[in-house]
Amino acid sequence: MAMNSFSSLLLLFFMAFLHLPCSMHAKEFRYCDKKNNYEINVTGIVVSPDPVVSGKPATFNISAFTDKAISGGKVTIDVSYFFLHVHSETIDLCVETPCPISTGNFVLSHSQSLPGIAPPGSYSLTMKIMDGNKHQLTCIGFDFSITWGSSVSDI
């Protein structure tokens, strides 16, 4: 009888855990060229929701620091799925963060709804930021996951 109560309690705990809202986790990232002294230093990446849900909006917040004012530029994003290139886009930097960017900390925020047909799995994203003269200010890569269905936070 006591074991049955324990099993019921364990099952109840497990079910409650599944219904917790998705929390935002900082993503590990890597610089494209570890030897390059980039003018923009990335300090963190948060993807929300994590994992990303196909067909739903997702937000990628890139926290960064610069010691040089930046008047504008472009952000190039390339996404791969199991080493297969699946998406590219170039966006005006000033759409992703207010310009001009003053020296110090800033956040680049990119929101996008992924197609509902995006297969679940692990994806790799490479992001380059170029100034108005096409000089590369930073280049990073990080991994994220996509899942099908509704996010846990929708329940």
Q: What does the alpha-carbon distance between residue 64 and residue 26 come to, in Å, rounded to a whole number?
A: 13
Can you give the pLDDT at residue 151? 46
- pLDDT tens for 95-135 read 999 999 999 999 999 999 888 888 999 999 999 999 999 99
- In the sheet where 25-26 sits, what is the strand order? 25-26, 40-48, 57-66, 104-113
Helix (H) or strand (E) segment spanning residue 50: none
Q: Domains, the chain, ranges and CATH?
A: 22-154 (2.70.220.10)
Q: What is the CA radius of gyration of the chain?
A: 19
Q: What does the alpha-carbon distance between residue 74 and residue 128 come to, in Å, rounded to a whole number?
A: 8
Which of helix, strand or coil describes residue 90? strand
In the chain, the amino acid numbered 16 is A
- pLDDT tens for 27-40 read 899 999 999 999 99
Predicted TM-score (pTM) of the model is 0.77
Task: Examine the pLDDT at 1 and tell me if it is beyond 60.
Answer: no
Which of helix, strand or coil describes residue 65? strand
Q: What does the alpha-carbon distance between residue 43 and residue 154 come to, in Å, rounded to a whole number?
A: 30
